[in-house]
């Protein structure tokens, strides 16, 4: 795979939230070909954040379950027709 070429501004955007000195060090490594920007620091979600997301998406899941129960006997197709002028 070819190396991703970034400008300083785009590199900084990719590392938003990190201290400037740390970004600068990584930029020097990147320019030297010793830092891969395709793999950024991945952070696992905290339990609290995961629970909050589940609460947010719970109503959507319930609606999907209701829809699947209503249509479990078969599939209903709806057609829209247009008349010819």
Q: Quick one: how many helices (H) and strands (E) in the chain?
A: 3, 0
Q: Looking at the 3D structure of the chain, how many domains does it have? A: 1
Domain-located, residue 73: no
What is the pTM (predicted TM-score) of this model?
A: 0.43
User: What is the pLDDT, as a whole number, of residue 33?
Assistant: 87
In a domain, 11, yes or no: yes
The answer as to whether 85 is a domain residue is no
Residue 76 lies in a domain: no
pLDDT tens profile 17-74: 899 999 999 999 999 988 887 755 567 778 998 888 888 888 877 777 777 666 555 5
What letter does residue 39 receive in the DSSP assignment?
S
pLDDT band at 81 (very low <50, low <70, confident <90, very high): low
Is residue 47 a part of any domain in this protein?
yes
Q: Cα angle at 38 between 27 and 6, to 5 degrees?
A: 45
| pLDDT attached to residue 48 | 92
Q: Residue 22: which domain range?
A: 1-58
């Amino acid at each position: 795979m070819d190396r991703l070429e970034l400008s300083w501004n785009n590199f900084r955007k990719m590392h938003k939230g990190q201290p400037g000195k740390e970004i600068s060090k990584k930029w020097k490594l990147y320019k030297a070909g010793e830092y891969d920007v395709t793999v950024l620091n991945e952070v696992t979600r905290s339990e609290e954040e995961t629970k909050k997301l589940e609460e947010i998406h719970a109503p959507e899941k319930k609606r999907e379950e209701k829809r699947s129960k209503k249509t479990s006997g078969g599939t209903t197709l709806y057609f829209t027709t247009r008349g010819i002028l």
